[in-house]
Amino acid sequence: MASLYLLIPIALIFCIIAIRLLLWAIGNGQYDDLDKEAWRVLLDEEPATKKPSSLEQSINIKEKPQDG
């Protein structure tokens, strides 16, 4: 029974903190547009073509047969 005198206030404090965090998140717009990020993943643009690095370019130059 004595432990309830400790656990009930701790539980109430946790509930108050959780409610305050929820209200803070709502007030700061964290829940304004939930669908945008889900659609952004599906409609992501194609990645730009990758330019060969200088190492790849030097390897390609060395591998080409020389005429002459």
The predicted-structure confidence for 13-26, as pLDDT tens digits, reads as follows: 999 999 999 999 99
Q: Which residue has the higher pLDDT, 39 or 28?
A: 28
As a whole number of angstroms, the longest Cα–Cα distance in the chain is 97
What gap in Å lies between CA 27 and CA 5, rounded to an integer?
A: 34
What gap in Å lies between CA 9 and CA 15, rounded to an integer?
A: 10
Q: What is the pLDDT of residue 54?
A: 74
